[in-house]
Amino acid sequence: MAEFDLIELIKRRCPKARADVRLGIGDDAAVVAVPAGHELVCCVDTLVAGVHFPLDTDAADLGWKSLAVNLSDLAAMGATPAWALLSLTLPTADADFVSRFVDGFAELAALHQLDLIGGDTTRGPLSITVAVHGFVPSGRALRRDAAGIGDGVFVSGILGDAAGGLRCLQAQLAKDSAMDAACATLMARLNRPSPRVAAGLALLDLAHACIDVSDGLLADLGHVARASGVGIEIEEDGLPGSTALFECFDVDTARALQLHGGDDYELAFTVAEAQIAAMQAAMSKAGCRVSRIGRVIAGAGVHVLDRNGDRKHIQGKGWEHFA
Ligand code: ADP
Ligand code: MG
């Protein structure tokens, strides 16, 4: 299949629902209209075969995930997603792979009224780059550098499933063992994360600092602490986890996966005491579970407290490419 047939195929299968797309796929560049009183929020993420996903990952899951990781970044800014660009580098012009990839991509795009407005298609080792654009009311984006001393620290949803899913996947590949139901649950969370877009919107004007948990809770809260010039204390027993996680792993392993494991794509955020009740009401209206996991203190770094309130010595850290 030729490059232009692949582009046609992609264009045909993606939703085109937005009136604010003046010019989509087909010209030299796309043209979109940003709503008055709003700012544009942009991000891009690349998934490289063998680095970010195993080579035999299902193409539809890849399509979903390559968009999901970007929507999660927009969610962490409190932005409303609107438009995406897709750059595909493919070893061969594999129409079947591209069809399945675009199906997964389009399935998630439709859930967020997001239009694919352009991209690039080249030949080379499999690699996928997605850029996403959204908007926020001017001046109100959620940022990493806004945590205040005394804030409560919260997380959406549950932590550790995706990292648990990766462990299950690796064990399965090594032993060729049958996958049980709990493992399947964890792997589904790894392959098809749900970006917390509604939660991010609910947090506008209520959260101080916000970040999405992509590299691991401790690593990502470390970014918040550094950017905000504060310290953060986390109570280990407060971390929300699934029954599947604790079915598959002993308590210590599960806790480590929750603290260090990446790919959860939940939101971690800080809220002033006076706003906590309003935040909880807004999150419940958005249909999103929220758990209090710690507090912001004067100082630096992220510290984990055991059930007696003593600081634990923590080894290991989150995902870093050039470490
Ligand atoms: P140019 O040579 O001007 O860069 P291309 O031939 O790369 O144009 O792309 C033609 C049109 O198809 C452009 O509108 C581009 O945005 C779109 N396009 C190319 N590849 C993709 C893709 N993988 N996904 C979505 N749109 C694409
Ligand atoms: Mg091009």
- Lowest mean pLDDT, pick from 11-25, 107-121, 307-321: 307-321
Contact (Cβ atoms closer than 8 angstroms) between residue 152 and residue 271:
yes
**Pocket mutation for ligand 1, best pick of 120, 122, 130 (most atoms within 8 Å of C-beta):** 120
Shared domain check, 48 and 125? yes
pLDDT of amino acid 317: 57
Q: What pTM did the predictor assign?
A: 0.94
**What is the SS3 assignment for the chain?**
CCHHHHHHHHHHHCCCCCCCEEECECECCCEECCCCCEEEEEEEEEEEECCCECCCCCHHHHHHHHHHHHHHHHHHCCCEEEEEEEEEEECCCCHHHHHHHHHHHHHHHHHCCCEEEEEEEEECCCEEEEEEEEEEECCCCCEHHHCCCCCEEEEECCCCHHHHHHHHHHHHHHHCCCCCHHHHHHHHHHHCCCCCHHHHHHHCCCCCEEEEECCCHHHHHHHHHHHHCCEEEEEHHHCCCCHHHHHHCCHHHHHHHHHHCCCCCEEEEEECHHHHHHHHHHHHHCCCCEEEEEEEECCCEEEEECCCCCECCCCCCCCCCCC
Q: Which domain holds residue 86?
A: 3-137
Shared domain check, 104 and 14? yes
pLDDT of amino acid 15: 79
pLDDT class of 260 with cuts at 50, 70, 90: very high
- The enclosing domain of 105 has a CATH number of 3.30.1330.10
- The minimum-distance atom of ligand 1 relative to the CA of 27 is 14
Shared domain check, 171 and 127? no
The answer to whether residue 287 scores a pLDDT higher than 90 is: yes
Flag whether 316 is in a domain.
no
pLDDT of amino acid 174: 65
Shared domain check, 243 and 127? no
pLDDT of amino acid 318: 54
Q: Which residue's alpha carbon is at the smallest distance from atom 5 of ligand 1?
A: 120
pLDDT class of 180 with cuts at 50, 70, 90: confident
Which residues sit with their C-beta closer than 6 Å to ligand 1? 7, 10, 25-28, 86, 88, 116, 118-121
Q: Which residue's alpha carbon is at the smallest distance from atom 13 of ligand 1?
A: 26
Flag whether 315 is in a domain.
no
Q: Which residues surround ligand 2, an ion (CB under 5 A)?
A: 120
pLDDT of amino acid 62: 97
pLDDT of amino acid 175: 67
Shared domain check, 185 and 241? yes
Q: Which residue's alpha carbon is at the smallest distance from atom 19 of ligand 1?
A: 120
Q: Which residue's alpha carbon is at the smallest distance from atom 3 of ligand 1?
A: 28
Flag whether 183 is in a domain.
yes
The answer to whether residue 173 scores a pLDDT higher than 90 is: no
The answer to whether residue 250 scores a pLDDT higher than 60 is: yes
Read off the pLDDT of each residue in 147-160 and give the average, rounded to a whole number.
98
Shared domain check, 250 and 184? yes
CA 176 centroid distance within chain: 29
pLDDT of amino acid 265: 97
pLDDT of amino acid 1: 77
pLDDT of amino acid 171: 83
Shared domain check, 215 and 298? yes
Read off the pLDDT of each residue in 206-227 and give the average, rounded to a whole number.
97
Q: For the chain, what is the domain count? A: 2
